[in-house]
Structure formats: C-alpha cells, structure tokens
C-alpha cells in the first residue's frame, strides 16, 4: 500500500516559444488506501496527470513520489502501479486466464503462484466461469472485470483507472460503479480514478479533485464540494441536474452578479405563504420531464432557462405560466470572476 505525493507538477507540450501548458504547478497529497477521483471537463489535464503518475508521460517540472520513493525516472513497470484503461486493452487471441496471467508470466513468477493469484482474483470479481473465453465472447462489463482482474493479480501499491466505465451503457455503468466501490473496500489499495462524469465522482470518491485547464479548483469530500463549492465552475460542474445560474436581483449582495441555486432547492409557489427565506419568481414552462419519483421542470425566467426538481409527478404543459420559489438560504452568490461572494 502507498501514499502518492505530487509536488509542483507541470506539463507542457511543444517548444518553449509555443509551449502549451497542460498542467500548471499542481500539488496533491493522496493518502494510503484513499480513493481519489480526478474530475473535470474534457481537456482539463486529468488523464495526462494520471499518465504522468504511471510513467507513461514525462513530466516537465516537479516531483512524483509513491510510498516516499521518488519515481520521476523509473519505468512504469518499476513503479508498483497497475493501470486500467478505458478501452480494456485485452489481448484478443488470449483467453481470460491467459490475459490475467500475462504480466505475471512475463515477470517469471512461479506457475503455482500465478494460478493462485488468478483464481483468487477471479473469485472476487465473480468471473471464474469466463476463464476459457476470449474477449470477443465477453460483454462490455465482463471485459472490464477482466481488465480490472489483470491489474489486481499484480497486487500493486496503487491502482490507476482512466475512465474505465465510459464505454458501458448507463445501467451497466451504475452496476460497475458499485462493483468498483466494493472492490476498494475489499482490497484496501490506493486508487486514483479519472472520469468526466461527476456522478461517478460523487458515488466513488473519498475525496474529489476538480480540475479546470490543468489547475485544481477544489479538493474535498463529495459532500464538501457539493455543499460548499469554491467557485462558480465547481458549483456548476458538481450536481445533477447542474446548478442554475441567474442574473442576481438587485440588492442581493454587493459585487454579486450571479445567483446559483440547485434544482432541488426550488419549489412550486402556491397561494399559501412561502417558507422563510424563499423568494418567489414567475416563469413559463418549456419542458416537463416526469422521472417517476420526481419531475424535472425547465422554466423560462426572463430569458434564463432554469430547472426545478419537483418531488413526485407534476403535470405541466409547455407554455404554462408557473410560480416558483427559490430557497435563498441554499443559494450561492458569485462575482463577475466566478468567485464566491
């Protein structure tokens, strides 16, 4: 098991005169056995950062340590890490057993130890019956289990996952999220996991690292970044449906130009008095999305589209006038730079 420390990490591509900064002076301490999720939009540098930890990308500046050992100049095979790729990267001509055992055989491990490790991991992942099938005979979820199993048999200090669920359908993604969470609880190994899906980040992480343009915007537990976002970017990125942003009413706060409020903090305003701290607004329904346990309402408010998450079934038609109430006690205020006010 191992802690991972990133100190003043920078990554640029290209010559000095036209160098493009991908990661800029990044610092991050990851505790032993911690499940860290790097999340952010495409191009924010999260996969590049993961590949630098793995040794698949050179770093331009800074230092990477795994278990108090500087690994900048070590080959990937010498870093005691295992990488699970987005596209599974299984050998198509080998069956499941041979795919899982390949790295151990290359390391000239004893055959009986290889057999023990592969069977042990196969039992944990519940893929024993797949041992003699080839990748083409497996479903996407089964292939991903095999790819994870191939990493597990190495018994690494650190697991690196690069968007491992992005090729799966929505139902299977939800199932595999639970499996990966259970895996971490079982093997108790440090995991660094990259995704652009904030739902994955919220459900899997001990802590989330939110990146934008190669710079860390916030680090915290899922509920920390949800309830106390550092800035407007984080507020808008974390949460599903995403936070609404409305041009702030006059007099709300000095220097504030944007009010942020989550869909679940908006209610239908009837004729009864509003709860304390609520502000009523009027708008026009544009879209109704009944989801069973709740209904998502898209409403045009003075040219701004906002979403309300209403418990249960709510019947409304496009073009209907509607009164909503915003829970101002749950609202966030931002200045023109996107900073919290």
Residue-level pLDDT at 238: 94
Distance (Å, whole) CA 282 – CA 260: 17
Q: Are 172 and 16 in contact (CB under 8 A)?
A: no
Question: Is the pLDDT score of 129 beyond 90?
Answer: yes
What number of other Cβ atoms are within 10 A of residue 338's Cβ?
17
Q: Could you report the per-residue pLDDT of 259-318, keeping only the tens digit for each?
A: 999 999 999 998 778 889 999 999 999 999 999 999 999 999 999 999 999 999 999 999
Grade residue 4 by pLDDT with cuts at 50, 70 and 90. Answer: very high
Q: Are 179 and 141 in contact (CB under 8 A)?
A: no
Distance (Å, whole) CA 327 – CA 271: 17
Residue-level pLDDT at 56: 94
**What's the distance, CA 92 to chain centroid?**
29
SS3 label, residue 87: coil
Mean pLDDT of all residues in 171-190: 87
Percent of the chain whose pLDDT exceeds 90: 73
User: What are the domain boundaries of the chain?
Assistant: 4-237, 244-334
Mean pLDDT of all residues in 118-127: 90
**Which helix (H) or strand (E) covers residue 104, if one does?**
helix 96-106
Distance (Å, whole) CA 170 – CA 295: 20
Sequence-ordered list of residues with C-beta below 8 angstroms from that of 130, at least 6 positions apart, any chain: 96, 122, 138, 142, 146
- Beta strands 35-39 and 207-212, pairing class: parallel
Q: Could you report the per-residue pLDDT of 131-154, keeping only the tens digit for each?
A: 999 999 998 888 988 998 998 898
Fold (topology level) of 244-334: OB fold (Dihydrolipoamide Acetyltransferase, E2P) (2.40.50)
Distance (Å, whole) CA 163 – CA 243: 24
Question: Is the pLDDT score of 251 beyond 60?
Answer: no
pTM of the model: 0.89
Q: Are 31 and 63 in contact (CB under 8 A)?
A: no
At 229, list the tokens.
């976002």
Mean pLDDT of the chain: 91
| CATH C-level class of 4-237 | alpha beta
Q: Could you report the per-residue pLDDT of 252-275, keeping only the tens digit for each?
A: 556 668 999 999 999 999 877 888
- Beta strands 321-327 and 258-261, pairing class: unpaired
């Amino acid at each position: 098991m191992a802690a991972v420390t990133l100190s003043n990490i920078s990554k640029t591509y290209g010559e000095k005169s036209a160098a493009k900064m991908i990661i800029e002076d990044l610092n991050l301490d990851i505790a032993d056995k911690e499940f860290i999720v790097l999340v952010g939009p495409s191009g924010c540098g999260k996969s590049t950062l993961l590949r630098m930890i793995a040794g698949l990308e050179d770093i331009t500046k800074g230092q990477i340590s795994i278990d108090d050992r500087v690994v900048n100049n070590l080959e990937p095979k010498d870093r005691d890490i295992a990488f699970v790729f987005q596209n599974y990267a299984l050998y198509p001509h080998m069956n499941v057993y041979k795919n899982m055992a390949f790295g151990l055989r290359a390391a000239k491990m004893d055959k009986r130890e290889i057999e023990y490790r592969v069977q042990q991991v196969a039992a944990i992942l519940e893929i024993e019956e797949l041992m003699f099938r080839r990748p083409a005979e497996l479903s996407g979820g089964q292939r991903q289990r095999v790819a994870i199993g191939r990493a597990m048999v190495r018994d690494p200090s650190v697991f690196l996952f690069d968007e491992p669920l992005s090729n799966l359908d929505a139902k299977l993604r939800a199932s595999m999220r639970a499996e990966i969470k259970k895996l971490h609880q079982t093997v108790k190994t440090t995991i660094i996991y990259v995704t652009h899906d904030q739902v994955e980040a919220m459900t899997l992480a001990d802590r989330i690292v939110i990146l934008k343009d190669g710079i860390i915007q916030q680090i915290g537990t899922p509920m920390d970044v949800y309830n106390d976002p550092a800035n407007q970017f984080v507020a808008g990125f974390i949460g599903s449906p995403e936070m609404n942003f409305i041009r702030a009413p006059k007099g709300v706060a000095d220097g504030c130009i944007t009010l942020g409020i989550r869909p679940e903090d908006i209610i239908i305003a009837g004729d009864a008095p509003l709860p304390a701290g609520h502000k009523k607004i009027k708008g026009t329904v544009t879209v109704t999305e009944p989801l069973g346990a709740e209904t998502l309402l898209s409403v045009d408010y003075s040219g701004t589209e906002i979403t309300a998450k209403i418990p249960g079934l709510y019947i409304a038609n496009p073009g209907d006038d509607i009164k909503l109430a915003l829970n101002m006690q749950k609202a966030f205020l931002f200045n023109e730079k996107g900073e919290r006010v």
